[in-house]
Amino acid sequence: MIKKCLFPAAGYGTRFLPATKSMPKEMMPIVNKPLIEYGVDEAIEAGITGMCIVTGRGKHSLMDHFDKNYELEHQISGTNKEALLEDIRATIDAASFTYIRQKEMKGLGHAILTGRELVGDEAFAVVLADDLCLNLEDGVLSQMVALYKQFRCSIVAVEEVPEDETHKYGVISGEEMRDNLYRVDNMVEKPEQGTAPSNLAIIGRYILTPDIFDILEKTEPGKNGEIQITDALLKQAQSGCVLAYKFKGERFDCGSVEGFIQATNYCYENIYLKSDAPNQPQKTVKTG
């Protein structure tokens, strides 16, 4: 049903300079796995097989990551370290990867429009890999794909945030149709303190119907001089239907240092230590 997922990954990641000077933010690891791989695995879990990645200058390592490294494979073949490549091999085998370059960083809306050639004329998912979403049962994209099957319109994932943080997000308001599901009637990108229409902030997961591309083409630069996906979605909401879904699960803003550290601690305790990865720290045995 939803076969493709777009990953806008062309941003500069300035909050993580100097780390992101020559390394894409999306390649920063949470424990031992890059952010983008978590996003791709979430998409695969949702039944999506076409990964469309919008890249920019200096982002070659993204492409290399989803490709075979024959030299490395050869070196560790037959050793106990081979198991460390199992997950990424499975990810590469489960999906196809296509890339397009965003020539100028004109904002998230522009990055999504750049992906049009890869996506074509069908509904698609969008993952911002620096928002890491984890859930013990269905992943956030799986939850949203199930909703799309029912409603067949654009859906944004939202989370309640403290009022003094709404200015960092796109914020929606709307009528609650049922538990955790809203029909959007207003959307404001990074509202000034005290002017947000609610505390429901859009996070980095979307399902978009393909008419969004024509709307984006006509969308003028908005906040910060960038083409904003929220402006296009508001137009879509006014002429049709856009839903906002309060998802189940944990979300970490790994584009910020605090969120990145929280995600690292969470994944180390809840995923890494519970797995049987062969590169886990050896347990120290106390003697005498």
Task: Tell me which H or E stretch contains 141.
Answer: helix 140-151
**Which of 14, 270, 275, 279 touches ligand UTP (CB under 6 A)?**
14
Is 8 among the residues that bind ligand UTP (CB under 6 A)?
A: yes
Is 251 among the residues that bind ligand UTP (CB under 6 A)?
A: no
For 96, list phi and psi in degrees, rounded to 5. -110, 150
Interface size with ligand UTP, residues (CB under 6 A): 20
**Which of 2, 4, 5, 25 touches ligand UTP (CB under 6 A)?**
25
CB 128, min distance to ligand UTP, A: 4
**Which of 65, 110, 116, 251 touches ligand UTP (CB under 6 A)?**
110
**Contact stretch for ligand UTP (CB under 6 A) within 6-14, 164-172, 239-247, 276-284:** 6-14
**Tokens (6 digits) for 221:** 């630069």
Is 242:153 a contact under the CB 8 Å cutoff? Answer: yes
The residue with tokens 């099957």 is 149
Question: In this complex, which beta carbon is closest to ligand UTP, that of residue 10 or of residue 157?
Answer: 10
Tell me the torsion sign for CA atoms 177, 183, 188, 189: positive
Question: In this complex, which beta carbon is closest to ligand UTP, that of residue 104 or of residue 137?
Answer: 104
Is 130 among the residues that bind ligand UTP (CB under 6 A)?
A: yes
Footprint of ligand UTP on 76-105 (CB under 6 A): 102, 105
Is 128:14 a contact under the CB 8 Å cutoff? Answer: no
Q: Which residues pair with 206 in a beta bridge?
A: 126, 156
C-alpha triplet 44, 263, 64: angle, nearest 5°: 50
**Which of 4, 5, 13, 41 touches ligand UTP (CB under 6 A)?**
13
Distance CA 191, CA 58 (A): 32
For 72, list phi and psi in degrees, rounded to 5. -65, -45
**Contact stretch for ligand UTP (CB under 6 A) within 2-10, 80-88, 165-173, 195-203:** 2-10
Distance CA 27, CA 48 (A): 21
**Which of 35, 123, 125, 128 touches ligand UTP (CB under 6 A)?**
128
Is 9 among the residues that bind ligand UTP (CB under 6 A)?
A: yes
Is 201:166 a contact under the CB 8 Å cutoff? Answer: yes
Question: In this complex, which beta carbon is closest to ligand UTP, that of residue 130 or of residue 189?
Answer: 130
**Tokens (6 digits) for 25:** 């933010």
Is 108 among the residues that bind ligand UTP (CB under 6 A)?
A: yes
Residues at the contact surface with ligand UTP, assessed by CB under 6 A: 8-15, 25, 54, 102, 105-108, 110-111, 128, 130, 255
